[in-house]
Amino acid sequence: MRFLLLCLFIPLLALTKQPELKPFHIRGFAQGTTYQITYYAKDSSISKEQVTYLLAQIDSSLSIYKPYSLISQFNRSASGLQTDRHLQKVVKKAQQVSKKTGGAFDITVQPLVQAWGFGAAPASGLPDSAAIQALLQCVGAHKIRLQKGHLQKAVPCVLIDVDGIAQGYTVDVLANFLEKKGIRNYLVELGGEIRVKGRKPDGKPMSIGIEGPAANNPNDPYPIQKIVRMETGAITSSGNYRKFYQSGSRKITHLIDPKTGYPLDNELISVTVLAGDAMTADAYDNALMGMGLKKAFDFVNRHKKLEAYFIYRKTDGSVADTATAGFTKLMK
């Protein structure tokens, strides 16, 4: 889901002899979407070429759309391969989240994602129950193992897809790069996944608008639902109202339940998660979508380093929202 960034980039007036912080912007296209970086500094210290290089490194590791990437090589392999630091970090986090969520987040879901028409290759048609049962034999977090940098698969048919966590991880890589360059005030966004630190030069925190579906409003189908003000941390979102297709009267969403093999079908429309880093938030927003509202809300309340905002459909068909206490405090 996309966030609408509402940051007003206003240079600090030179009230003292200290050099004023100026806004610098880097924008581009990566991972099938757009990205933008805004940072405040005395001088430009980051180039787009540097960002492009980092993004290319990540693609060479994590992109299922690049046949030469490590993840593509793993998927073609019979037993596994030696990973790089990018794939190691993402798989390690994915396995942690899978364990904590009881398998609600599972990167081995790739065969099912492909079968339902959301993979790197076109699908020939909708899978039947027999096909799904066969594919489920290749799915399960316990079917992969990361040991001393080597990622092993239990059976050759195991395939992984880290799209549910890779954009958040990429945002973290870019944010960490900025911090290594001494930048203390920034906003990094890729595909709507965001990480921020510091404030704008006028002293105000970063403001982020969260969009969501609106009923019966064709002129603005995805208006801003809430505005969040934050000084540090990450905010990401997962939803089922943008990426889907219709098959007759049936709505097929890109979020697949790794336990049943079928697209998610519950009252949740979107989940927005706040966490200390974007990779963590990105993994949990997908997992929470699969839990349903009550279970997801209870889960977040049990994990104090997470906060969440939920948009859901009530039994009468109307759209409603709710949020955890920590998230509510940050909303305008």
The superfamily (CATH) of domain 20-64+162-198 is: ApbE-like domains (3.10.520.10)
Question: In this prediction, what percent of the chain has a pLDDT beyond 70?
Answer: 87
Whether 169 and 90 have beta carbons less than 8 Å apart is answered as yes
Confidence of residue 16 (pLDDT cuts 50, 70, 90): very low
**Which CATH class for the 67-160 domain?**
mainly alpha
Residues 6+ apart with CB under 8 A from 177: 46, 50, 51, 54
- Region 205-331: CATH code: 3.10.520.10
Q: Tell me: is residue 164 an annotated ligand-binding position.
A: yes
The reply to whether domains 20-64+162-198 and 205-331 share a CATH topology is yes
Domain boundaries of the chain, sorted by first residue: 20-64+162-198, 67-160, 205-331
How long a stretch of residues is the chain?
332
Instruction: Give one DSSP letter per residue of 99-166, joined into a string.
Output: HHTTTSS-GGGHHHHHHTT-SSS--SS---HHHHHHHHTT--GGGEEEETTEEEESSTT-----HHHH
Q: What is the mean pLDDT of residues 175-189?
A: 97
pLDDT, tens only, 140-173: 999 999 999 999 999 999 999 999 999 999 999 9
Instruction: Give one DSSP letter per residue of 31-79, joined into a string.
Output: TTEEEEEEEEESS----HHHHHHHHHHHHHHH-TT-TTSHHHHHHHSSS
- Residue 24: strand, helix, or coil: strand
pTM for this entry: 0.89
Q: Tell me: is residue 202 an annotated ligand-binding position.
A: no
